Amino acid sequence: MRLGQLGIWRRRHDGVDGVAEIEALGFGTLWVGGSPSVQEARAFLERSSTLTVATGILNVWQHEPAEVAAQRAEVARAFPGRFLLGIGVGHPEATAEYATPLAKMGAFFDGLDAAPEPVAQDERVAAALGPKMLDLAARRSLGTHTYFITPEHTRFARERVGPDALVAPELAVVVEPDDDAARAVAREYAGPYLGRSNYTNNLLRFGFTERDVADGGSDRLIDAVVPHGSAPAVAEAVRAHLDAGADHVALQPLGHGGAPVADYEALAKALL
């Protein structure tokens, strides 16, 4: 599975505009967010010829593993070597059935393994933040796709999963040199995540305080989780994750629409 060192993360609701540009600029992977299904990811594969497309992430509470495995097999036959199944448990605030997330993920992996056309370990990746979920991701999949984190968490994840597992963080960024304007965009994006316990608990484990998390997030927290500035300044934040042990960083440019091609171009020029 060729992910490349840099990818783009975008929500499924934003559609397929800009996919050809992402591929032409040299990004290796397009992560489809917003709890996509395998079938929804297919549209992005159809609009490209070399991009790897990954679900970032398919919610395990909303799907049956046997059905997911069958759909993945169909997509893999149509687009060999270009589809990575990303799965995760989502958020307790958004899932009524949410309970025993570690056991749920383990059972979902079991179901993928037992399917008539199993999903190989190196063709799936798991969302993970805490140590036990990171351990499971490293043991049962290619590695981990992390979200809403800092370079300190990337370093921790690398140490936890070992040298051989994938560490592929998402990184939201704002390509905007005006600090106030950029932070306004970043806060609007961060607000829902700061109301979700899995993300806030993770931030509290890595040096932030309740005051940092409250009222839309302190400047310190916002700047660490959603770096902003010119494209070269954002590139330095990306390199901080790579230096901390990331194999791949999935960039999510904010503030300029669902297909911000100008941001893609600026980031590619600074990084690729």
Place of tokens 């270009």: 82
Residues in the chain: 272
Q: What is the pTM of this model?
A: 0.97
Domains of the chain, first to last: 6-173+231-271 (3.20.20.30)
**Rg from Cα positions in the chain:** 17
pLDDT digits (tens, 9 = 90+) for 31-85: 999 999 999 999 999 999 999 999 999 999 999 999 999 999 999 999 999 999 9
In tens, the pLDDT along 123-182 reads 999 999 999 999 999 999 999 999 999 999 999 999 999 999 999 999 999 999 999 999
